[in-house]
Structure 1
């Protein structure tokens, strides 16, 4: 009776009590990293409707600015108490932390500049490649049109020359990047 009363109390308070949660899953100690990951995934997949908490990246903490005026400065020999060394040590630690923050910030900015420079170089190289290939495609099309023009001149005469010139002008005005444009450019005479 005690168990039934405690479960009804839990249910009445709005908490869910699942009897099978702990009886079906005995305690398993992972022996490797892969097994630990598998257990975590199994735990997540037991309740797929439950949202997963993903923490934000830790933010860089900016150190305090150096004090403009340092009070209670003691010399190294006369009148320095036993606690002054610890005060000095705190100042020194904060200053080293501030200098490290400045150095890390400068390194990150330098890396960001290098990365942007590398992106620009890659972009310009890719653009050069595409223009070179585009020119090559256009030359190939031009040669093909010249061959077709020669064949048509021999067979039909002046009527076909006008149609091929119109098609050439249309092809030269297009960039040649679209597949549809490449398929349509081989129409001669509208037939």
Structure 2
């Protein structure tokens, strides 16, 4: 039985069969689909034509040949991409070189600190040795002074030795400036 354009019971137009949902794969396709729907709706409203939504949107024709060849505009895009990639690699190389130099510098500073600590320890040991030697001589001199009050000749000899010892020992060890 053929159905008129209007259903006699409800007074509405019969439902059209639903079209499969078309999903745009690229932004260009999405824009084209929106534009076609708008244009179809505009035409339908202005000319009272049925909506063109039952038609399948046209897809761009694909060439039968290979798409490996690029147009003249693609060369510039490739060139810019290549330049940016080279800049990125150069930047990474410079950073790695800087890190290596920093590590070498830190290693050299540590070596210098160790060497300075060793020299300081060696000199400290030498100063302590001289100080102990001076204290021992001083103690010896005091003991000789006590015993030397009896003998003046031995004290004059010890004074001569003390002068010689003072000449040998630097003044900063003795606390003199």
Q: Output the TM-score relative to the length of structure 1.
A: 0.42
Which of 1 and 2 has greater Rg?
2
Q: Output the TM-score relative to the length of structure 2.
A: 0.45
Larger relative contact order (Cα-Cα within 8 Å, sequence gap ≥ 6):
1
Q: Greater share of helix residues, 1 or 2?
A: 2
